[in-house]
Structure 1
Amino acid sequence: MALARAFMQLSPIITALRRHKVATLLIVLQVALTLAVASNALFIAATRVVHLSRPTGTDEAHTFIIRNGWTMGQNATQINANINADLETLRHVAGVRDAFSSQGFPLGGYNADLITHIKLEPDQKADAQVAPYFASDEHTIHTFGISLIAGRNFRPDEIAGIGPNDKMAPPDIIITHSLADKLFPDGSALGKTVYLPDGPTAIIGIVASLQSSLCSLWNRDDALDGYTVLVPMHYLDPAGVVYLVRTDTTAMQPVITAALKALRERSGARIINPKKDVFTMAYVRKRAYADDHSVAMLMSILSALLLLATAGGIVGLSSFWVSQRRRQIGIRRSLGATAGDILRYFHAENFLIVSGGVALGALLAFLANLGLMQFYELPRIPPYTPLLGALVLWLLGQLAVWGPARSAAKVPPVVAIRTE
């Protein structure tokens, strides 16, 4: 019955809206622009939130990093000996579960020394697969807290000392599952020989997942942040080395203090700034995704402000129309219209206006997304995003018009016989 009454009011509603074309058009355009902008803004925010929430695959809560610089004049042999001694020292610090040295760490940022290229054939004509790598040893998997799902770990005798200008041709490597699937979609990566720039190497192990030093935003075919390679080597860079340390506790500060003290007591051939060169993986994640977090917050605030402005516009217009139609409402009440009829009238009117804005806004949302895809490589917006935005706007419109509609429903029939 109520639905039939609502349909019966469509004709007078449309007639009334035609007499207020400019005001109606402004609200329709406001709703349309709100839907177009808010849908894309919230889609960007959601994409960023999903991106910054991805796990690195490591035991982040128990891991900290030490950037260790070397004093001048040390050769490769001395650096290698210092690295081995430092790692042995760190592993015996109270609260330390394991440690290893590398040239980088997950989410650490791009560096040319963190990238290699993999070919399936020595004379392959097609582009080689770009893959970030970490210098690793037999303690790396345990220190990261990652899972070896196939094959074996490195042996101590396979760990070589390699400087920045040396050829990197290890006898074997360990790769992530995503890289294994990329190189060998048929699932036959384990035991296969691939070719690094300086020679062949065998895939002896596959780990479940491990994020590289990169944190590329869009999950595209050329995304590199999960295509990680572990290379059995100590990186003998005269500029310094990175130590990754896994602890038994999340309260890492006492362990960090003890680790730095042990390194200082072992040798003075190092440069470590405790304020700048020592940080937890939690801090690394926060720093790496700071821009994503800021963009997500900005887009969310922008969407909220647009929705509030649209709600304010609906409230203002509805209140104005109620004040203009008090005599008309009084006449309807005197002819038998109930308070519920008046409420339904204004809610139905608002629904029609918002629906017009939603239809136009959905079109604008997809057009805006096409532009963003072209200039900023934004993924295609899924159809349900504007639909969810439309539902929010319909609900917002109904809530916004409720106050003015309730005020209209209280207009007494006697208003119809008053003279102005």
Structure 2
Amino acid sequence: MNTAMQLRPILAALRRHKMATLLIVLQIALTLAVVSNALFIVKTRVVHLSRPSGTDEAHLLAISNQWIGQPDVPHIHAQMQADLATLRKLPGVRDAFASQAYPLQEGGGGLVRIKQRVEQKKLQLALSYFADEHAIDTFGIALVAGRNFRADEIGSLGPYDKLVPAAIIITRDLARKLFPDGAAVGQRVYLRDDGPSTIIGVVDRLQGSYAGSSTRSIDEDTVLLPARYASADDGAAYAGGVVYLVRAQPGRLAALLRAAPAALLAQNRMRLISPEDGVVTLAQAREKAYATDRGVAIMMGAMCALLLLATAGGIVGLSSFWVGQRRRSIGVRRALGATRGDIRRYFQAENALLVGIGVVLGVALGIAANLALMAHYELPRMPPWLLGVGALLLWLLGQLAVLGPARRAAAVPPVEATRSV
């Protein structure tokens, strides 16, 4: 009731300072619009970089191997078989297989287009890995339906061969998109215009090799293709290569970072494994793949903190200025019986009114900014509760910022009423 009774003198005082009032209201509105959208971007980035790949990341390493010279396809296939046998025999290795990419690699994975019928026009995009019967155990992923590949289902694929696998394994996310009303195991699909391929198994989760924003909608729509791919002679000194994924037993990963490439080189030196990035753990791959997301989140968080500090500083500065200008009127109120609490509440109510007006305007600006970001940067719609959180944060910040000036105003003695202007 006391605060409501102070509304008329507050409005009268603000009308005498129209420009300062307008500036602080606009600052609060812009702060809410920017901070709410920035925090939403931070939230989306943090959610993105925190997603599990579905694999046993703590025990996985990837070896990028390039062939030296101009080996033909049969020679490469024989060498891959020998390499895998060497890796699986190493102490501390649980399993290994060969593919063209690995999760969070930021490249190398294949994009496949899936149809449920030959005549179907709309395609479902998915990411793929070449795999064999060891891939599921090496990744550390779990089958939720169906079965694994058999050794006799694994094909040998050269650079100009067309892959028409009789059997494929897909992720649960992709299965839901393809068959939302039924089970996927046993269903037939077509890869491009080839096929058909029968879905023999569904795994829980397996992230594709791209961690960037361009594939977020299909990051977990993954297909395992039963083949070993030989990237053969292209006329260059290096005839393509292969990625060996190795799953270590607990506590043996660090040792295998050195032992695995050394064993491959001892088996055949006609290969190149880069000493800089030829051998990486999936933890290192995650760190590198999400460096941009992490950097954006940190930058946006710092920007929000600085903007909130600037707004708080503006409120403190303006309130302190008004206290200095109103010392005589405050003294008059004290002389007429106003208590220190009355004076303090007056300034807090004035601040609450300013912040409230700014928040209303800021909500409108925040929604407009989010719609613009959705149109130009494909961001999702910002949830309304985030604007509410931002508004509450600004209101609390305003009350904290005005607390110091309000206490100084409350300390003005009644004798100030006798001083000349």
User: What does residue 287 of structure 1 align with?
Assistant: 288
Q: Which runs of 5+ in 2 are unaligned?
A: 233-239
Q: Counterparts of 1:13-412 in structure 2 under 5 Å? A: 13-111=10-108, 114-124=110-120, 126-197=121-192, 198-217=194-213, 223-238=217-232, 239-249=240-250, 252-412=253-413
> Is 1:214–1:224's contact at 8 Å kept on the other side of the alignment?
no
User: What does residue 418 of structure 1 align with?
Assistant: 419
> Is 1:131–1:224's contact at 8 Å kept on the other side of the alignment?
yes
**How many residues are matched?**
413
- 1:342-388 Cα deviation digits (max 9, x unpaired): 11000000000011100101101111111111111111111111111
Say if 1:158 and 1:390 are closer, same or farther in 2 by CA, change over 3 A: same
Say if 1:299 and 1:110 are closer, same or farther in 2 by CA, change over 3 A: same
TM-score, normalised to structure 1, is 0.95
SS in structure 1 of the partner of residue 96 of structure 2: strand
Letter matched to residue 237 of structure 1: S
> Is 1:121–1:195's contact at 8 Å kept on the other side of the alignment?
yes
Distance 2:106 2:277 in 1: 16
Q: Which runs of 5+ in 1 are unaligned?
A: none
Q: Percent identity?
A: 57
> Is 1:148–1:208's contact at 8 Å kept on the other side of the alignment?
yes
Distance 1:273 1:110 in 2: 17
Distance 2:281 2:291 in 1: 15
4+ runs deviating over 3 angstroms: 216-220
> Is 2:212–2:289's contact at 8 Å kept on the other side of the alignment?
no
Q: For residue 251 of structure 1, report the CA deviation from its aligned partner.
A: 6.1
Distance 2:305 2:214 in 1: 25
Distance 1:256 1:199 in 2: 39
Distance 2:288 2:50 in 1: 13
Distance 2:155 2:37 in 1: 50
> Is 1:216–1:224's contact at 8 Å kept on the other side of the alignment?
no
Q: For residue 331 of structure 1, report the CA deviation from its aligned partner.
A: 1.0
Q: For residue 276 of structure 1, report the CA deviation from its aligned partner.
A: 2.1
Q: For residue 97 of structure 1, report the CA deviation from its aligned partner.
A: 1.1
User: What does residue 12 of structure 1 align with?
Assistant: 9
> Is 2:186–2:198's contact at 8 Å kept on the other side of the alignment?
yes
Distance 1:116 1:11 in 2: 68
> Is 1:107–1:213's contact at 8 Å kept on the other side of the alignment?
yes
RMSD: 1.4
TM-score, normalised to structure 2, is 0.95
